[in-house]
Structure 1
């Protein structure tokens, strides 16, 4: 079964009024290229998160993010009342000593003082919260894998159609391949007959024709290409990431098609080769997305 490297997964969990959001997406890449954005609360678990992703994702350019949203009531910054009172007393003392008027608006003055509105909060990750967060992470990764499977199934169907098309085109070459031998013979003989007073050895002509035709023979290329088509199908049915292997097989298919084209001194056969190249090129474009 083919898996795509393109995928997306998201999960949301709630714990003590906090919403834990997890998002993961992936694109094609030659190896695993993992980027993470992790909320400070979960930084200590970064290695565990990376290992969980690597175990199921294997390859691709992967972006992972986990962040926390809090209720407005719990996330609001509190006023440091004790510090504000202290500033108030100091301002009154300074005003009395310097004989200057007190502020017209105490609230604006006090709220602008250092640390009155600062929120000093050190969060620690509890075991219970991590269990909830880890479940959300696993769900997001599983959603990504499911997405990849769905995309992979579409790729596999597309590959199957293209392989069938190449196979049908390969079979359509046979009639032209057989007729071109007689065409070559007729063309050479007609050419010799058109030259007046030329006597030639028919046995030698047959030998030369056989040598010439053997050089243009594509039976081996056809057999190898047929083997590659079957191997491509077998590889698609295997479990795990087979994208690189399919890419190598597609390259070998291209070599056989190119050789067939170079030996095809026949317009109809060359047209068929061009069609096979077009089908193969579409396979090569899409195989880059296969895991």
Structure 2
């Protein structure tokens, strides 16, 4: 599911901003942007995020803004002077111009590695937890919207199934009449008893009683699973496969245009459910 969480941590000498963004994905794909001085803690923070979010294309950013006058980056004076001497040997420019070129050379600046203070890291982990709470709330809100959409579409399929059940006797009569008309067009005398036996056998091939019962059970099972407390995205996916199988069988057996139209509508609702299920854990 999509989501966004942010936390800002103000320390005496720096401001640290933590952002966590999530997009839909079947697996966990975590991309982290962390300053070099915090790299040793990256794995621990990754594990915390993975344990909480479980799935999604996740971007994690930790940004540091120095607010004090002190800085860990210093000019490497000896290296800069050496560069200037070398440049002066090949170019008779002013010292200021030579310095501008020298400071752009490799190793002109040196960064003193800072050890991570445990209190600072504890504050960072607390801020990360706050950001994850925000993103989880975002996901829960989206999940409630999806739940309402699933319920609405399952109820729509159930309504269409009721219409299928209502016109089923009409369908059988239509099939029976079509067969009788075909025999009448042959203008041949037939044994009525034998014809009725063959007719019963033929119509049994189009009977959808079992499919109607199973489809109704699958719809009820989908709803009860949706209301359970477990992480059930994959389970719901399996149930929709079974729902689709029953709908397809009803469509292949219907042999009746009004019923086939209802089947098409059920398939349309089911496809919309399948698309949204990709967002559910």
TM range (shorter): 0.7 to 0.9
Q: How many angstroms does 1:108 deviate by?
A: 5.3
Q: How many angstroms does 1:116 deviate by?
A: 10
Q: Distance in 1 between matches of 2:220 and 2:147?
A: 14
- The two structures have a TM-score, normalised by structure 2, of 0.86
C-alpha distance after superposition, 1:243-272 (max 9, x if no partner)? 121111111111111111011111100100
- Equivalence map 1:199-218=2 (5 Å): 199-218=189-208
- Give the equivalent residue in structure 2 for 1:282: 272
Is the counterpart of residue 189 in structure 1 residue 180 in structure 2?
A: yes
Equivalent position to 2:56, from 52, 55, 60: 60
Q: Distance in 1 between matches of 2:209 and 2:158?
A: 14
Is the counterpart of residue 175 in structure 1 residue 183 in structure 2?
A: no
Q: How many angstroms does 1:107 deviate by?
A: 5.3
Do the aligned partners of residues 69 and 212 (structure 1) sit closer, same or farther apart at CA in structure 2, a change above 3 Å counting? same
Q: Distance in 2 between matches of 1:283 and 1:277?
A: 10
CA contact under 8 A between 1:26 and 1:62: conserved in structure 2?
Answer: yes
CA contact under 8 A between 2:26 and 2:56: conserved in structure 1?
Answer: yes
Equivalent position to 2:7, from 8, 11, 26: 11
How many pairs were matched up? 273
The 10-residue stretch of structure 1 (149-158 or 232-241) with the greater mean CA deviation from structure 2:
232-241
Q: How many angstroms does 1:223 deviate by?
A: 1.0
Do the aligned partners of residues 80 and 65 (structure 1) sit closer, same or farther apart at CA in structure 2, a change above 3 Å counting? closer
Cα RMSD of the aligned pairs, angstroms, is: 2.9
CA contact under 8 A between 2:72 and 2:112: conserved in structure 1?
Answer: no
- Give the equivalent residue in structure 2 for 1:129: 120
Q: How many angstroms does 1:70 deviate by?
A: 1.2
Q: Distance in 2 between matches of 1:135 and 1:44?
A: 17
Equivalent position to 2:147, from 156, 162, 166: 156
CA contact under 8 A between 1:37 and 1:66: conserved in structure 2?
Answer: yes
Could you list the structure 1 runs, at least 4 aligned residues long, displaced by more than 6 angstroms after superposition.
114-117
Do the aligned partners of residues 69 and 188 (structure 1) sit closer, same or farther apart at CA in structure 2, a change above 3 Å counting? same
Q: How many angstroms does 1:207 deviate by?
A: 1.1
- Give the equivalent residue in structure 2 for 1:99: none
SS in 2 for 1:289: coil
Equivalent position to 1:47, from 35, 43, 58: 43
SS in 2 for 1:73: coil
Is the counterpart of residue 220 in structure 1 residue 244 in structure 2?
A: no
Is the counterpart of residue 251 in structure 1 residue 251 in structure 2?
A: no
Q: Distance in 1 between matches of 2:74 and 2:29?
A: 42
- Give the equivalent residue in structure 2 for 1:29: 25
- The two structures have a TM-score, normalised by structure 1, of 0.84
Is the counterpart of residue 73 in structure 1 residue 90 in structure 2?
A: no
CA contact under 8 A between 2:18 and 2:61: conserved in structure 1?
Answer: yes
CA contact under 8 A between 2:13 and 2:68: conserved in structure 1?
Answer: no
Do the aligned partners of residues 23 and 207 (structure 1) sit closer, same or farther apart at CA in structure 2, a change above 3 Å counting? same
Q: Distance in 1 between matches of 2:258 and 2:62?
A: 59
Q: Distance in 1 between matches of 2:28 and 2:182?
A: 63
CA contact under 8 A between 1:15 and 1:132: conserved in structure 2?
Answer: no
CA contact under 8 A between 1:110 and 1:116: conserved in structure 2?
Answer: no
- Give the equivalent residue in structure 2 for 1:268: 258
CA contact under 8 A between 2:30 and 2:58: conserved in structure 1?
Answer: yes
Larger Rg: 1
Q: How many angstroms does 1:289 deviate by?
A: 0.9
Q: How many angstroms does 1:112 deviate by?
A: 5.8
